[in-house]
Amino acid sequence: MRILLIEDDRETARLVGDSLTKHGHHVELAADGLSGLKNAAVGAFDVVIVDRMLPELDGLHLVQSLRRAEVSSAILFLTAVGGIEDRIEGFESGADDYLVKPFALGELVARVAALGRRPPGPKQDFVYRLDDMEVNLVKHEVRRGGRIIHLQPREFKMLEILLRNRGRVVTRSMILDQMWGLEPDTRSSIVQTNVSRLRLKIDRPGDTPLIRTVRGLGYIIDLSG
């Protein structure tokens, strides 16, 4: 894919650019908001990665300008500004995804790949519904059967990974990479432990089980048995 990275921090730009290039993507860089806006408007990129705190033109106004110009590239905010209201502003400006620094390179690569697979059309709904569970990715809010489920940040992140791959097996290696940036077979028990904790909160006695173990492969979230 053709990716435009708009980032003024040289070290971050180098790390992200090198990682995406190693995964077969063509990456172009812009170090400020104005040059990033110009390049994104005419470059026909598949994905645009934008920092919010940019010189010349901040990322929020940059994305708003791109959407007004009907630029259809998928847009991901990569930023240290991570409050709930900040995320809401980011999505309302026209972004498709939002990743807060510090981040795992593996998770960034996976999110970029997911954006590249997304068909053109209306922006993704960031509220997931499955059986009687509702998950709001922006507000970091989980409800099931009308009750609020309080998840720790790590538990919420694991639930998000499963939901983004609903109906597909998520391997232990994928979880290790996206959550901790670890190589396969490294501290593999950490995945099982965290899935077990998530299940205790999501699938309580009497609930329809949503998270299943696929023996020898990983985990899946769905209604199918």
* Domain stop point among 87, 117, 147: 117
* Domain stop point among 90, 117, 144: 117
Could you tell me the residue range of the domain that residue 212 belongs to? 127-221
* Domain stop point among 65, 85, 117: 117
Whether 122 is covered by a domain: the verdict is no
103 lies in the same domain as 131: no
- For tokens 């007004």, name the residue: 68
9 lies in the same domain as 111: yes
87 lies in the same domain as 132: no
210 lies in the same domain as 169: yes
8 lies in the same domain as 99: yes
Any idea what the CATH number is for the domain that residue 54 is in?
Answer: 3.40.50.2300
Any idea what the CATH number is for the domain that residue 141 is in?
Answer: 1.10.10.10
**In this structure, what DSSP letter does residue 123 have?**
P
Strand partners, 133: 130, 144
**Per-residue pLDDT at 9:** 93
Structure tokens at 184: 């396969």
**Digit-coded pLDDT (tens) for 153-204:** 888 989 988 998 888 898 888 888 777 765 555 455 788 888 999 999 999 9
**Digit-coded pLDDT (tens) for 1-53:** 999 999 999 999 999 999 999 999 999 999 999 999 999 998 789 999 999 99
As a whole number of Å, the end-to-end CA separation of the chain is: 36
138 lies in the same domain as 210: yes
Whether 205 is covered by a domain: the verdict is yes
List the one residue out of 137, 126, 110 whose CA is nearest residue 47.
Answer: 110
How many separate domains does the chain show?
Answer: 2
113 lies in the same domain as 9: yes
Residues with Cβ within 8 Å of 15's Cβ and at least 6 positions away in sequence, in order, are 105
Report how far residue 12's alpha carbon sits from residue 18's, in angstroms, rounded to the nearest whole number.
10
**Digit-coded pLDDT (tens) for 62-109:** 999 999 888 889 999 999 988 888 888 888 888 988 999 888 898 899
Whether 52 is covered by a domain: the verdict is yes
Question: Does residue 53 contact residue 61 with C-beta atoms inside 8 Å?
Answer: no
**Digit-coded pLDDT (tens) for 115-140:** 887 655 444 557 889 999 999 887 88
